[in-house]
Structure 1
Amino acid sequence: MLEAMLSSPFFGLGLTCAAWCVGVFLQKKTGFLLCNPMLIATIVVVAVLAVFQIPYADYLQGSSMLTLMLSPVTAVLALNVYNQRRLLGEYFLPVIVGCLVGTLTSVGSVLLLCKVMSVDSAMTSALLPKSVTTAIAIAISENLGGIPGVTAAAVVIAGVVGAIFAPAFAKLFHVTDPVAEGVAIGACSHALGTAKALEIGTLQGAMSSVSLCICGILTSILVVFF
């Protein structure tokens, strides 16, 4: 019976949702920065699979249902750009320049570090789109011959780190303008950072949403030349 349950597509789906709920509960209960729901959910899922020696293939059957939603959810991000068209028009040049600088910094730093550490081309291609949302990042990685699993992990790490430390860095560097703060968060930590930006303020969340969309487009264009 246990084997039948583990092989069911609903096992992976249920485990993922339960792990996410645990993460949300811990964040609300403790308010601790490191209790990010995505980070906690990842740890819980990995721990359950390791402790009970559950094959990843069994878990993937259900979790792939959530993965299927990445593409339509990414397409819906265009709605955020449309809804914030007035703000985008008002701050068009600063937003575009900020996103371009953020994208160049992200891609350039990966290329530099991979070259210094003599990382092979497949791994480099997998890490290049680390700062854009998952669906776009995996598509870019696959087109460049990268490893999708590594890309997904890099995207999660970048998002979690950004969501956790973005407010601290804003205070450290005295970033007080909500537009600048939102653009910076969206440019470096995509959707996970945007969720945090929405907690900080409505304007920060809106600009972060716009930023992650623009950075996704810019990254898709820039990696062609590398």
Structure 2
Amino acid sequence: MNELLQTSSYFGLALTLLMYWISCKISQKTKVPVLNPILVASIVIIVILLVFNIDYETYETGASLLSVLLTPATICYAVPLYRQIEVLKKNVAAIIISVLCGSFSSVVMVFIFSMIFGFDHQIYTSLLPKSVTTAIGIGLSQEMGGLTAITIAAIMLTGIFGGIAAVGICRLFHITNPVAKGLAIGTSSHAVGTSKAIELGEVEGAMSGLAIVISGLMTVLWASIAAGWM
């Protein structure tokens, strides 16, 4: 199987796109939050690779092509933000303060849990960028000496959890302001969460996209400082 698939550079790409498309259809039909398209697609792909004994390297050959689109995809969030520029102007102070606090609390929580569970410095620095988009998180983790694989896994899990739990958490704490919703989702669960914020409304999506950028920049600062705490 591996020898056959190795002749196709696009196997991983085709499999990923197909599984994600099917997962989106399932999510749209069921409306169940836990059936997040990224989560479902990831599980199905892992099962397929295990059942057919396909090496991850074989899959990665094609799937890695999607990584090239991470940065351009993140930049595309500027479009809904431009449409909500007046909302941005009216809430500049609230936006900066909330994202500043959110990104700092993320770093502090990683430090606290690393102390509780006795993580070493390498694992600790790998987890610090968990709430920023992958395009920023990978580079930041490498710079601090972290393990890229753990960073990617942490970013994915954080984003998926945010996408699943965002609506429920907002209801639990009676958060109804669309600006507050968007900033909270974007700061805590980056691009994956932002896809859910866009479903909630255009203002939520725009603020979440903005939070990704600001949170990413602030996390670079906070993480660089926090890396010396352990």
Give the TM bin, normalised by the shorter chain.
over 0.9
In the alignment, the residues of structure 1 paired with residue 99 and residue 83 of structure 2 have an alpha-carbon distance, to the nearest angstrom, of 19
Q: Is 2:10 aligned against 1:3?
A: no
Report the count of equivalent residues: 226
The residue identity in structure 1 corresponding to 2:178 is P
CA contact (8 A) 2:191 2:209 kept: yes
What is the correspondence of 1:12-161 to structure 2 with a 5 Å cutoff?
Answer: 12-77=12-77, 81-161=81-161
Q: Tell me the CA shift for residue 80 of structure 1.
A: 5.4
User: Deviation string for 1:51-87 (max 9, x for gaps)?
Assistant: 1111111011001111122233334445555554432
Highest RCO, 1 vs 2 (Cα 8 Å, sep ≥ 6): 2
CA deviation map 1:17-37 (0-9, x unaligned): 111012101101211111110
1:198–1:15 Cα change, 3 Å: same
Instruction: Give the TM-score, by structure 1 length.
Output: 0.94
Alpha-carbon distance, 1:39 to partner? 0.3
- Segments of 5+ residues of structure 1 without an aligned counterpart are none
Q: Once the two structures are superposed, what CA deviation does each residue of 1:153-203 show, in whole Å capped at 9, x if it has no partner?
A: 111111111111111111110111111111101111111111111111111
Whether the aligned pair in 2 keeps the contact of 1:23 and 1:40 (CA below 8 Å) is: yes
Long gaps (5+) in structure 2: none
Do 2:178 and 2:204's aligned partners in 1 also have CA atoms closer than 8 Å?
Answer: yes
* Change in 2 beyond 3 A, CA 1:160/1:140: same
Instruction: Check the 8 A contact 2:2/2:55 in 1, yes or no.
Output: no
The alignment's TM-score, normalised by the length of structure 2, stands at 0.93
Cα distance change, pair 153–2 in 1 and its aligned pair in 2 (3 A): closer
RMSD: 1.6
